[in-house]
Amino acid sequence: MSILTASRLRVARRRLIHAVPVLVLATFIVFGILKLMPGDIAITLAGENATEERIAEIRQNYGLDRPFLVQYGSWLWNAVQGDLSRSLASGEEVAVQIARSFPITLLIVVMAMGFALVFGIPLGILAASRPDSLVDRVVTSIGSLGIAVPNFWLAMIFVSWFALEFGWFPATGSVPLTQDPGQAIWHAFLPALALASGGMSEVSRQLRSSLVEVMSSPQVRTLHAKGLTPAAILWKHGLKNVSVNLLTVTSLLFNRMLAATVVVEAVFAIPGMGSLIVNAALFRDLPVAQGVVFVMVLVVISVNLVTDLLYTVLDPRIR
Amino acid sequence: MTSRKKSDLRLPFAPMTRREWLMMMGAGTAAALLPGAVFAQGEPRRGGVLRVSGFANPSSLDPATGGAGSDHTYLWTIYDTLVEWDYKTLEPRPGIAQWKFSDPTTMVLTISPNVLFHDDTACDAEAVKFNLDRGRGDDRSNIKADLSSIDSVEVTGPLEVTVRLTRPDSALPAILSDRAGMMVSPTAAGKLGDEHDRKGVGAGPWKLVEWADNQNITVTRHEKYWRDDRGFVDGIEFSIMPERATGLRSVVAGQNDLAYQLPPRLKPLIDRSKDVELVTGPTLYCRQIYLNLSRGPLQDVRVRQAMNFAIDREAFVKVAQSGFGEPAHMNLPSSHWAYDPEVAKLYPHDPDKARALLAEAGFKDGFDLTIGGYTDADSVRRGEILMDQLGKIGIRLRFTNGTVAEISAQYFGQEKKFDSLVSAWTGRPDPAMSYGLMYAKDAYFNAGRVEVSAELTELLAKSRESEDMAVRKEIFSRLQRIVMEQALVVPIAFDAEMTAISKKVVGYRPNLIGKPKYEFVSLAS
């Protein structure tokens, strides 16, 4: 059976068409917010003791004196042609900045997803296999703790212990995957672990509740009656039934982690997408902020699209 | 062991704010702590790469087009300046060039031979003329105002440039120790155009290898550097980490060798690490209350004087700056060459006298004073201390807080909001620049645009006339006295430079500007 059936292509096409207004709206809102915020990059660019004339001159040079909609329109027009423009603050091409920062963030998020699934799934199964037992209560408590503890706090604890006290991991920074994969993973380990805590809890709790529901269904009672072993019921029937739920949780988690890296990147001084957009917002560096939002929205839309397609693979009833 | 862990746990929570990169420089009690200890550790070793945690991405690596005060520490590695300054007093000294005023409006620059830019272009009279003209006339130059006293620049020899001025300007040597004196290769500037912002080529001890925005800047040895008494390390790698606590952690963890302009409250983290030491020194960075002399009660000199008597500067340094820095009695710190100890005695902490002055001015029951401030935690804390101290004489501060750019623009710009502003003066290489920018009638930082007195105006002009340091010192004493007697400002405290260095860093010297220079730094093997 081909993966790309006509109906799936239809889903993909529909999703892509929906993506266009989302993309425009998201970038427009960010542009608007940055414009509404007090402060003016022209003042920053003009340096200390700048005269009013110099500031006006800079506004004109960078086109900051044009009407709001004209500025947005011109940015959008260039962006759809693949030109994300240059940073106002430093003159570097936004595309270059994103190409450098995105892989760093992606590595952390992918590793964090890995941690969340590797720890979260077994914990969820464990809890669901003996509902309301001591094991279940312990797992649920760990889950609550994982969600309650802010990941930036956890990140700071990790730095204090594993980087400063024991010296096992680097306290700050990152290494590109292409330069040294071992070092890249080593640098991303603590940030990813800190980022994963909430995700791990969410995966285990969601998996537990869906599994408990499935395992108490009449269908499973029938399977028991047919004489299947509990292990076979769990692996062959239970997990298959909760896979759609798990996929939903995973994709939501991935999108949320992309955003949550902002804080973790700040703690570890990682020059990823989070740092990029925070700096851009602080300096009113519109092209950079817009570029990051543009790319992030594209990523989220792609993740959602892949998720939608995977639904139809996992559960043929979904069209 | 347990207690160590516990205290380490607390450290990362030190609330850090973005604004500190604008606000922190350094001052100091610690003048005494430092110099001897850090210099004099034998012959500097050549080689090794110094790793520095920087807290701000440069605005540009072209000295003429950039604007951020945090750029200098990067620029100084790439660019040598025509004039340099003494680390401790800021007295100007020859750099690439020697200067001489043949008359008050003519300055002759004699350029050292054999100075080469990183692209092998000679740094000669033509290059210096190119740079001065570029600074004065280029569309994108941010240093036009600094060079406004120059009328023309002439090449009068292969290594001699004659600068003709429209008015006497003895501040020019100091100005040429700042951005305006950083020599850019004319070949590179011509060829690269705007790209020179990112690929700056100078004649400094190191040349630029790479600048990745908000990530890192790498410089490597300029093999044909003209002096062999400095530039010891083979290269410098700057990692850009906006959070200063994080930057310091990278030094404690051994990933970097140096982090600078740290807030005093991070000192415990440095103290606890056995491989890191603290270097401090006084700086020009003066925290102060700016006063709009055209508004309400502040028009009365007695009110302004009362405010100066009401401030307990020693207590402020102790509480707000963990004891680092020094109380400010004028706009110059005690180690500056133009400091006058007599002026410093004008305002001892005397709340009774302050209340008496207020009563005399007709404000027996005090009054409300609107004041601009900034939103970060440290600024708010400083504001609360001032609120308490001024509250004791009946002046009730009514704060409006916001970002630096926003509040400063509202106070100094067209809007003219608030009676006063609690902020800081970052200092300039020459005191004539500071006094001119803050107290001249039309100066941007004189929010009320008030002419205080004809004598002050005359002294401001005179402060640039003579190049005799003794004469200038005398003029600055008179200027400072007028500024303080008229209470045009409420100076509070100078920050201390606070730099954390790994123990293998040798020869690091703090300077009065409060921004690190690495020319004399070497690494122990």
Measured on CA atoms in the order A53, A54, A57, A63, is the torsion positive or negative? Answer: negative
Torsion angle (degrees, nearest 10) of CA B385, B389, B394, B396: -20
- The per-residue b/e assignment along B447-463, b for 16 or more CB within 10 angstroms, e otherwise, is bbebebeeebeebbebb
Q: Residue A19: what pLDDT?
A: 82
Percent of chain B with pLDDT over 90: 66
Average pLDDT over residues B348-365: 95
Cα separation of B291 and B387, whole Å? 15
Contact B330, B483 (CB under 8 A): yes
A197-228: pLDDT as tens digits: 889 999 999 999 898 888 888 988 898 888 88
Top pLDDT among B22 and A266 is at: A266
User: In chain A, what is the straight-line distance between the N-terminal and C-terminal CA atoms, in Å?
Assistant: 16
pTM score, whole prediction: 0.79
What's the angle, vertex CA B308, arms to CA B283 and CA B434, rounded to 5?
A: 40
Mean pLDDT, chain B, whole residue set: 88
pLDDT exceeds cutoff 80 at A259? yes
- Secondary structure (3-state) at B271: helix
Question: Which neighbouring-strand residues pair with B300?
Answer: none
Joined together, the tokens standing for residue A287 give 């092209």
Taking an 8 Å cut-off on Cβ atoms, the answer to whether B197 and A163 are in contact is no
Judged by a CB distance cut-off of 8 A, whether residue A156 touches chain B is yes
pLDDT exceeds cutoff 60 at B2? no
CA distances from B144 to A283, B138, B152, B393 (A): 24, 8, 13, 44
CA distances from A142 to A123, B93, B208, B500 (A): 10, 65, 50, 39
Percent of chain B with pLDDT over 70: 92
CA distances from B278 to B471, B493, B506 (A): 37, 20, 13
Question: Which neighbouring-strand residues pair with A312?
Answer: none
Average pLDDT over residues B504-518: 93
Average pLDDT over residues B70-87: 95
Judged by a CB distance cut-off of 8 A, whether residue B12 touches chain A is yes
Torsion angle (degrees, nearest 10) of CA A180, A185, A190, A192: 130
Cα separation of A191 and A172, whole Å? 9
pLDDT exceeds cutoff 90 at B244? no
Q: What type of residue sits at position B196?
A: H
Average pLDDT over residues B460-476: 90
Question: Which neighbouring-strand residues pair with B279?
Answer: B499
Of A48, A170, A275, the CB nearest to B67: A48
Top pLDDT among B375 and B368 is at: B368
Task: For chain B, positions 28-67, list CB contacts with chain A under 8 A.
Answer: 53, 57-60, 66-67
Comparing CA positions, the residue from B514, B470, B516 lying closest to residue B496 is: B514
Q: Residue B11: what pLDDT?
A: 30
Neighboring chain B residues of A156 at a CB cutoff of 8 Å:
12-13
* B239, closest residue in chain A (CA to CA): A173
Task: Using pLDDT thresholds of 50, 70 and 90, give the confidence band for residue B505.
Answer: very high
Q: Residue A45: what pLDDT?
A: 75
Cα separation of A269 and B411, whole Å? 34
Top pLDDT among B327 and A54 is at: B327
Neighboring chain B residues of A101 at a CB cutoff of 8 Å:
215
Taking an 8 Å cut-off on Cβ atoms, the answer to whether B57 and A156 are in contact is no
Percent of chain A with pLDDT over 70: 96
Q: Residue B38: what pLDDT?
A: 42
Contact B261, B491 (CB under 8 A): no
Task: Using pLDDT thresholds of 50, 70 and 90, give the confidence band for residue A319.
Answer: low
Average pLDDT over residues B10-14: 31
Other CB atoms within 10 Å distance of the CB of residue B296 = 13
Judged by a CB distance cut-off of 8 A, whether residue B254 touches chain A is yes
Judged by a CB distance cut-off of 8 A, whether residue B403 touches chain A is yes
Q: What is the DSSP string of B209-254?
A: EEEETTTEEEEEE-TT-S-SSS--SSEEEEEE-S-HHHHHHHHHTT
pLDDT exceeds cutoff 90 at A173? no
Average pLDDT over residues A156-161: 89
- B465 Cα to chain A: minimum distance (Å): 22
B262-307: pLDDT as tens digits: 988 888 889 988 899 999 998 999 999 999 999 999 999 999 999 9
Q: Residue B416: what pLDDT?
A: 82
Average pLDDT over residues B347-359: 96
Taking an 8 Å cut-off on Cβ atoms, the answer to whether A164 and B413 are in contact is no
Task: Using pLDDT thresholds of 50, 70 and 90, give the confidence band for residue B32.
Answer: very low
A50-106: pLDDT as tens digits: 667 777 888 888 888 888 899 999 989 998 888 888 888 888 899 999 999 999 999
Burial of B109 per CB tally in 10 Å (0-12, 13-18, 19+): buried
Burial of B98 per CB tally in 10 Å (0-12, 13-18, 19+): middle
Task: Using pLDDT thresholds of 50, 70 and 90, give the confidence band for residue B27.
Answer: very low
Q: Residue A36: what pLDDT?
A: 82
Comparing CA positions, the residue from B419, B120, B383 lying closest to residue B296 is: B419
